[in-house]
């Protein structure tokens, strides 16, 4: 039984779009093979029906032989039943192939985005990611959908050509030569169609990225009245998408017209030629009927060839765009020969700033520049390269998975995902995981739960937009605490809450993390006063250390920073 999503989507071949499509085919060859077999049975049974019909006319109707007539009618019935059964099963398998192909692509995209993390926006626009997960995944799935019919069309054409050549060499030659020529009229349009599909895809990705960026900054736009500027820009981008889509549709309509008109002319020509041969006595009446049925049936393979050309062109464009994203590599990767991780309870040291974090300490970092504090947090979690050591061993030489397991960094703008509040607190297990009630109590977030209609089971929209800034910050802090990592790095975790709530969080955070290493980037006196030690960071370097009260007394620049100059 097929279950989606797939347990393991695999490692794709990203050297080119066509190689990616071939990799997809290889990885689901079994359902594709079943689909091809059913496609051959489906079209093959249709291809043989004209022959059975002609034999029924010649051996049954023309001669008055009821036994022969019944025999061939039985053959027709059997072929019809086979066509019906195989057609139903073929369609079901085609849908399965579509779902597997598109779902595998979406899973690969999701895995790549999760693997790249924040780096994904540096190499790919958010609109391109959305288009890849939607349009591109569907285009690739549709190519797999049509594969079975394509192979069936080829097999049925070969079977019909063989029957016609054996019955009437003239008509057989017309079919054998004529059909490839008809397909040849379609071939020159495939390349231009692919180019127009590519142009449309690029324009669509740019417009989607513009829309996504605008939604993210809508509040800022409204703040200075920039809505009209955006509307004008988006109208222009949307117009370019529309123009590209019309150009693509114009060529697609030409293909659609050829798909109907060319086979129709071919049917007329074969029928006329067959009628002339019947009048001359070269072929029988039954063979004439069969030839007409063959010509009419050949419309289906010809339409399938056109459909394949169109869908393959769209899939190639989508795959080319897709592999560019899947081929991106993280800037932070495992060392070639990683060192064994130190045992639990190791010092964490940032060489460039001079910060030393002892195991089990609650350390606060007060920085004159918030940017420098954020950069320090990124170095401590190895989200950027830096001279950081854990237990005396360079962090860059340790296995990245081990670093992620032992060190958790929660930045100043954490993301909440759409889903229930309980889902947002359900973190990957790293050993001990704290219960939601415990972390919500520690972050003074009980009012958040009480204010939701279904408590922890309440659904949150994307980014937790239904919550206030302070509520989102407390939920994000609770999520970071849930993992209970050996080392937790927090960047301004209380900047959006009031002083009373901040005081409660500072006290409970210190108690909850007792015995675990915690580093908090903050200039809040309420948090600084609860720290075991405070490091004062100036121009990226620790210039003073001590308790909050000691630094207030002995370090005037620190006092000016945390009191906002009020002491003067």
pLDDT tens-digit profile, the chain (568 residues):
567 888 888 899 989 989 999 999 999 989 999 988 998 888 888 888 888 888 888 887 878 788 888 888 899 899 989 989 998 999 999 999 999 999 999 999 888 888 877 677 666 666 667 667 777 888 888 888 888 888 888 888 788 778 777 777 777 777 777 767 766 666 666 667 667 776 776 777 677 666 666 555 555 555 555 567 667 777 887 888 888 888 878 877 777 777 677 767 777 777 787 778 778 877 777 777 777 777 777 777 777 877 787 788 888 888 888 888 888 887 777 878 888 989 988 999 999 999 999 999 999 999 999 999 999 999 999 988 889 999 999 999 999 889 988 999 998 877 788 888 888 888 765 555 678 888 889 898 888 888 888 888 888 887 777 888 888 999 999 999 988 899 999 999 998 889 899 999 999 999 999 999 999 999 999 999 999 999 999 999 999 999 999 999 999 999 999 987 554 4
SS3 307: helix
Task: Find out whether 385 and 396 touch, Cβ atoms under 8 Å.
Answer: yes
Counting Cβ atoms within 10 Å, is residue 85 exposed (0-12), middle (13-18) or buried (19+)?
Answer: middle
Counting Cβ atoms within 10 Å, is residue 103 exposed (0-12), middle (13-18) or buried (19+)?
Answer: middle
> How is residue 234 written in tokens?
């988006």
Diameter of the chain by CA atoms?
A: 119
CA 529 from centroid of its chain's CA atoms? 46
Cα–Cα distances in angstroms (integers) from residue 98 to residues 1, 40, 127, 325, in the given order: 16, 18, 23, 22
> How is residue 165 written in tokens?
């050549």
CB neighbours of residue 415 within 10 Å: 11
CB neighbours of residue 342 within 10 Å: 16
CA gap 324, 16 in Å, rounded? 9
Give me the pLDDT at residue 190, please. Answer: 62
CA gap 125, 205 in Å, rounded? 8
Cα–Cα distances in angstroms (integers) from residue 312 to residues 22, 110, 305, 558, in the given order: 12, 24, 10, 65
Give me the pLDDT at residue 112, please. Answer: 86
Task: Find out whether 303 and 208 touch, Cβ atoms under 8 Å.
Answer: no
Give me the pLDDT at residue 162, please. Answer: 81
CA gap 429, 114 in Å, rounded? 17
CA gap 245, 240 in Å, rounded? 8
Give me the pLDDT at residue 173, please. Answer: 78
Give me the pLDDT at residue 567, please. Answer: 46
CA gap 491, 365 in Å, rounded? 9
CA gap 443, 475 in Å, rounded? 8
Place of tokens 């630094």: 551
Give me the pLDDT at residue 568, please. Answer: 43
CA 223 from centroid of its chain's CA atoms? 33
Sheet containing 517-521: give its strands across. 407-410, 487-491, 517-521, 362-367, 533-538, 541-546
Task: Find out whether 310 and 255 touch, Cβ atoms under 8 Å.
Answer: yes
CA gap 402, 385 in Å, rounded? 16
């Amino acid at each position: 039984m097929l279950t989606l999503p797939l347990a393991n989507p695999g490692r794709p071949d990203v050297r080119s779009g066509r190689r990616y499509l071939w990799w997809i085919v290889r990885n689901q060859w079994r359902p594709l093979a079943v689909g091809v077999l059913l496609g051959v049975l489906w079209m093959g049974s249709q291809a043989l029906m004209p022959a059975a019909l002609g034999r029924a006319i010649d051996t049954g109707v023309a001669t008055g032989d009821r036994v022969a007539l019944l025999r061939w009618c039985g053959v027709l019935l059997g072929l019809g039943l086979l066509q019906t059964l195989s057609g139903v099963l073929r369609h079901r398998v085609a849908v399965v192939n579509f779902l597997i192909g598109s779902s595998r692509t979406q899973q690969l995209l999701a895995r790549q985005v999760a693997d790249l993390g924040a780096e994904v926006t540096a190499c790919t626009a958010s609109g391109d990611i959305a288009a890849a997960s939607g349009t591109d995944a569907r285009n690739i799935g549709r190519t797999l959908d049509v594969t079975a019919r394509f192979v069936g069309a080829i097999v049925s054409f070969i079977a019909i050509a063989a029957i016609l050549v054996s019955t009437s060499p003239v008509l057989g030659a017309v079919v054998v030569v004529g059909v490839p020529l008809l397909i040849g009229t379609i071939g020159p349009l495939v390349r231009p169609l692919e180019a127009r599909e590519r142009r449309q895809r690029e324009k669509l990705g740019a417009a989607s990225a513009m829309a996504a960026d605008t939604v993210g900054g809508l509040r800022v736009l409204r703040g200075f009245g920039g809505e009209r500027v955006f509307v004008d820009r988006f109208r222009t981008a949307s117009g370019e998408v529309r123009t590209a889509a019309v150009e693509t549709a114009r060529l697609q309509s030409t293909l659609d017209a050829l798909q109907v008109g060319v086979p129709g002319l071919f049917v007329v020509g074969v029928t006329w030629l067959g009628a002339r041969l019947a009048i001359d006595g070269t072929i029988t009446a039954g063979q004439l009927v069969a030839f007409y049925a063959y010509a009419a049936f050949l419309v289906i393979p010809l339409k399938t060839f056109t459909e394949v050309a169109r869908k393959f062109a769209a899939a190639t464009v989508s795959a080319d765009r897709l592999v560019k994203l899947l081929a991106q590599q993280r800037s932070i990767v495992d060392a070639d020969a990683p060192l064994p991780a130190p045992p639990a309870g190791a010092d964490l040291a940032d060489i460039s700033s001079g910060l030393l974090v002892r195991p089990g300490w609650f350390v606060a970092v007060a920085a004159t520049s918030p940017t420098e504090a954020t950069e320090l947090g990124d170095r401590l979690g190895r989200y950027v390269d830096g001279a950081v050591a854990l237990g005396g061993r360079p962090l860059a030489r340790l296995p990245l998975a081990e670093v992620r397991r032992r060190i958790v960094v929660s930045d100043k703008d954490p993301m909440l995902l759409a889903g229930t509040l309980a889902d947002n607190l359900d973190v990957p297990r790293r050993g001990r995981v704290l219960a939601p009630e415990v972390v919500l109590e520690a972050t003074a977030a009980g009012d958040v739960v009480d204010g939701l209609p279904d408590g922890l089971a309440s659904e949150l929209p994307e980014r937790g937009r239904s919550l206030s800034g302070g509520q989102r910050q407390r939920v994000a802090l609770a999520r970071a605490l849930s993992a209970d990592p050996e080392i937790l790095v927090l960047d301004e975790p209380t900047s959006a809450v009031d002083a009373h709530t901040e005081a409660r969080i500072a006290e409970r955070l210190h108690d909850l993390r007792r015995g675990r290493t915690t580093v908090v980037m903050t200039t809040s006196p309420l948090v600084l006063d609860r720290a075991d030690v405070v490091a004062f960071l100036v121009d990226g370097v620790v210039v003073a250390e001590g308790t909050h009260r000691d630094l207030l007394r002995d370090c005037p620049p620190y006092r000016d920073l945390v009191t906002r100059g009020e002491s003067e």
